[in-house]
Structures are given as structure tokens and as C-alpha cells.
Amino acid sequence: MSSSVIDILQLEYQRFSTKEKEIADYVMRNKSSINNINIRDLAANTNASMSTITRFCRKVGCDTFVDFKIRLNREVQQPRNDTNIFMKTQNLYNNVVNATAEMLDTSRIEQVVQFIKEARRIYVYGLGSSGLSGLEFKYRLTRMDIIIDAVTDSHMMMMSATLLGQDDLVIGLSNSGRTTEVSNALIAAKNRGAKIVGITNFDHTPLSEISDVCIFTPEIGRSGDVNFINSQLAIIYILDVISLLLLEDSHLLKARQQTLQALYSAE
């Protein structure tokens, strides 16, 4: 997994103090211009002391504020002309995809693929937009002859969780990692012996703590545009990678080809 400053700011966010969260929020909103200010300016802009800024920098793996600025500046792409809405959308998508690829931990992805292959049955839990991503994943894996269901209702999540066993797998989707209904259902599934996979933005959350394997994705706020609304793009990227790895299995590939052929023949 990448150890970039931006990744650390996101993943460790839940461990920050209230003031440190304010500093992190300011940095993320103004990451392109942080290189142009000194520690006194940042302290004034965030109503923090310079010693607090220094401790914050050390918490994210930097010895000094200057070190923090240098590392951050290396990671920040210089903004291009985004006055054209079409180019702006393209740039936003590129930024999310690139950030997701940089955060990707291949060993964790491979472990999830193995979990899926070994599972008797799989459930994907998610509410709202995350539920829609879960349904998309269900359709993909069903075509590979994998027993899977996507549950997007909180009551049904809890009901299914209480019927799971040691051979089952549950994948929880939540950008915040704090969707109570999803976390509670995952805890119930864990108590029944099921394996748990989490896909989320933040570490040190109920979702990440309950997961046997947790995959982290970039937070939408990293795009720098408050109007950017596709919170599922990073999750879909992860599900794409998992799907392609599964299709390296000849049995799963053959099943998918058969189902696709059946659909084409029916048209």
C-alpha cells in the first residue's frame, strides 16, 4: 500500500484530535497551495499553535513542516485548465482512479479473491450508493457461477448474518466505515464465524476493525471539488480488479462465457 502523505492523512484521520482534523481538512482543501506558506501561516489559518502543527506533521511521518510540504508538493498534481466541464470531469475521474491504484494493496486483493473462491456463499452488504455497487458485484459474480447475494436493506442484513457459518463470506461496503447498520450486521456475521472483508475510505473505523481483510479507497473529498458526486468510482475500480483476477480461473471464465452466450442468444 502507498505511504503517501495524502493517503496517511485519510487513513489516520479517525485517530486525529479535533484540532488535527481541522488541520488535515485545511491541508486537503488547499493542498495545491500549501507549498507557498510557512508554518506560522498554517497555524494562523487553522487557529492552531506552531507546536501543534509540528506534532501533526510527525504524526503523518514527516520530521518537520518543511519535510511535510516537500512530500505533499511531490504528490499534488498541478491543476490543469478545468473551465471546460467535460475536461474537468475527465480530470476528476483520472485523479480518483490514479489515487485508487496508488492505495491498492495487491496482497489484500489476492486474499479477497481466495476468500471468494473458497466461500460456500457470499453476501455483500451496503446501503444507498454502496448498495448499488453491491448489486453490480452480485451480477458479475453470478455470471461466474458463484453463489452471491447483495443485501441493501438493514433488516435483511441482520437476518442473513444470523444464518451464516464458517464457510461463508461477507463483504461490507461503506465509504465512511461508520454505517451503523452495515457494521452491526458484520459483527453478527463475524460472531457466526463468517469471514469479513471491508471496502472503505478510512482505517480505525467500526468497519475496518471488524474486517479480516480491509481494502482502502480514496475519499471523494480528495478530488478537491465539493460538487463531485461519484462516491462509488473507487469501489467499482476495486470490484473490477477482483473480477478480472477471478476470471483467471478457467472454470469461472467458462461459466461467464456460457451466461453471456445465453444472453446473446436470447436477444
| CATH number of the domain bearing residue 139 | 3.40.50.10490
Q: What is residue 224's predicted lDDT score, i.e. its pLDDT? A: 62
DSSP string, 205-230: SHHHHH-SEEEE---GGGGS-TT---
User: Would you say residue 93 lies in a domain?
Assistant: no
- Is residue 81 domain-resident? no
Domain check: are 113 and 71 in the same one? Answer: no
Q: Is residue 95 part of a domain?
A: no
The domain that contains 65 carries what CATH number? 1.10.10.10
**pLDDT above 60: residue 1:** no
Edge to edge, the sheet with strand 213-216 lists 148-151, 121-125, 168-173, 195-200, 213-216
Whether residues 221 and 121 fall in one domain:
yes
Indicate whether 64 and 150 sit together in one domain.
Answer: no
Lookup: cell for 23: 488541520
Tell me if 251 is assigned to some domain.
yes
Say if 19 falls within a structural domain.
Answer: yes
Whether residue 209 contacts residue 235, with contact meaning beta carbons closer than 8 Å, is answered with no
Average pLDDT over residues 52-73: 91
245 and 132 share one domain: yes
Check whether 26 has a pLDDT greater than 70: yes
pLDDT at 267: 63
Inside any domain, residue 199: yes
Report, as an integer, the average pLDDT of 124-142: 96
* List of residues 6+ apart from 254 with CB closer than 8 A: none
Residues 109 and 51 in one domain: no
- Output the pLDDT for position 49: 94
* C-alpha torsion sign, points 104, 235, 142, 162: positive
For 182-238, the pLDDT digits (tens) are: 999 999 999 999 999 999 999 999 999 999 999 999 987 766 666 677 789 999 999
Percent of the chain with pLDDT over 70: 94
CB-neighbour burial class of residue 197 (10 A; exposed 0-12, middle 13-18, buried 19+): buried
| Residues whose CB falls within 8 Å of the CB of residue 78, separated by 6 or more in sequence, listed in order | 32
pLDDT classification of 74: cutoffs 50, 70, 90:
confident
Residue 264 pLDDT class (50, 70, 90 cuts): confident
Q: Provide the whole-model pTM.
A: 0.79
Grade residue 82 by pLDDT with cuts at 50, 70 and 90.
low
Are residues 253 and 179 part of one domain?
A: yes
Q: Which pLDDT does position 46 carry in this prediction? A: 94
Which residue range forms the structural domain that includes residue 129? 100-266
Domain count, the chain: 2
Instruction: Output Rg (C-alpha) for the chain, integer angstroms.
Output: 21
pLDDT range class, residue 92, cuts 50, 70, 90: confident
Mean pLDDT within 12-35: 90
Q: Are residues 129 and 234 in the same domain?
A: yes
The distance between the two most distant Cα atoms of the chain, rounded to a whole number of Å, is: 69
* Mean predicted lDDT score pLDDT of the chain: 91
C-alpha span between 25 and 34 (Å, rounded): 12
- Average pLDDT (16-30) is 92
Given this model, what pLDDT does residue 22 score? 94
